[in-house]
Structure 1
Amino acid sequence: MTKPDTDDTLAFYRDNAATYAARERKPPTARLDAFMRKLPPGAAVLDLGCGGGHDSLAMLGHGLDVTACDGSAELAREAEHRIDRKVEVVRFQEIDWQERFDGIWAEASLLHVPRAELADVLARIRQALRPGGFLQASFKAGKVEGHDRFGRYYNYPSAEWLRDRFEDAGWSDIQMREADGGGYDGEPTRWLHVAAVRSA
């Protein structure tokens, strides 16, 4: 088992923030549209691990009240240029919002949380939602945590293991879908797309 060194992950985003934010990226249009359709007009949304701000920009364009944040200060600055508003620098383990958001969008971000810390982070995220609020998140599937060729840490969960972590954190109506795709590393990737609700 490899050591979950998230410092190396942050170092990658620090050193490559401009390139990463400016890359040609295929947007998750269908999933993002489905997420936004479930929200009332002007809903408060957290873009958790917003990266270069592409999805935040789309949600702002739909009239949502978006709070964008990222654990990388350098990526947060890149996102600020794209969306023309402040982006908060918050690491997953520091989340302490209480019942503030109607929805949380975590596209390819929680996959960097060390396995041993994921249930706690999911509980923190759940507390950030208003009762009845929901989360949409995506993970790279696998069986054992590890690093990609850029040195970034991934928790690489199986569907069963990930469902257990969501249940441990008190989530309801957990729905999971698997799909093939890719990522920044250009490698074929099996994705786990998770939707879950904070019960009223």
Structure 2
Amino acid sequence: MTTIDDGNDRFYRDNAAAYAGRTRRTPEARLDKFLARLNPGASVLELGCGGGQDSAYMMARGFDVTPSDGSPEMAAETARLLGRPVEVIRFEELCWRERFDGIWAEACLLHVPRTALPAVLARILLALKVGGVLQASFKAGDIEGHDAFGRYYNYPSRDWLRQQFEATRWVGVEFGETDGGGYDGKPTRWLHAAAVKPGN
């Protein structure tokens, strides 16, 4: 199983510096809301850390952050920003067991093929401690496809995504939607999902 297609690999390999160096955004309210659900100093895994800005923000807030990215080139950009090593690991390689209190997956799981998403959500569930929280964001839509840069997106609807979380035994699943943009500069409807690992 692979969770990132060649178009995504190629884009992040060839554009890592430009992608990481784009205008830095102020961490959004949902990042603060995510952190507010965790105890001070809690362990957080960031998936798809990109340029590393969110990891840097969480570290500055005193959290024990493990930044990770499936692209070696993007991981190198984050390591340069943070001054520390960054895990290079693809979603299908996640193998932690009850290691993290929270997992922050901003604009990364949207690249997982629809057929592979349940297995990836199951791996993320295993990586969390009981009661741990996942926060993830997706570009909303009705059918999977590619953008103008050749990157694959799963473009889920709220109902379809809820089914994937419920099938992998998450609880407390909540959704929000916002209008925004992306690297391509096009208006984007964002779907934000939060979920909790249940007790045994």
| Alignment of structure 1 residues 31-110 onto 2, 5 Å | 31-110=30-109
Q: Tell me the TM-score normalised to structure 2 length.
A: 0.96
2:49 touches 2:78 (CA, 8 Å); kept in 1?
yes
* Residue 135 (1) aligns with residue 127 (2): no
Output one character per residue of 1:62-101: Cα deviation in whole Å (capped at 9) or x when no partner: 0000000000000000000111111011101111110000
Distance 2:86 2:178 in 1: 30
TM superposition shift of 1:26: 2.6
Unaligned residue ranges in structure 2 (runs of 5+): none
Residue 20 of structure 2 aligns with which residue?
21
Question: 3-state DSSP class of the match of 1:139?
Answer: strand
| Alignment of structure 1 residues 143-182 onto 2, 5 Å | 143-182=142-181
Unaligned residue ranges in structure 1 (runs of 5+): none
Q: Tell me the TM-score normalised to structure 1 length.
A: 0.96
Output one character per residue of 1:29-54: Cα deviation in whole Å (capped at 9) or x when no partner: 21111111111111000011100100
2:42 touches 2:101 (CA, 8 Å); kept in 1?
yes
Residue 125 of structure 1 aligns with which residue?
124
Distance 2:22 2:163 in 1: 34
TM superposition shift of 1:104: 0.3
Matched-pair identity in %: 61
After TM superposition, the structure 1 stretch with the greater mean CA deviation from structure 2, 25-34 or 108-117, is: 25-34
TM superposition shift of 1:6: 1.1
Distance 2:105 2:78 in 1: 15
Question: 3-state DSSP class of the match of 2:65?
Answer: strand
TM superposition shift of 1:5: 6.5
Question: 3-state DSSP class of the match of 1:115?
Answer: coil
Distance 1:25 1:143 in 2: 30
**Letter of the 1:19 counterpart:** A
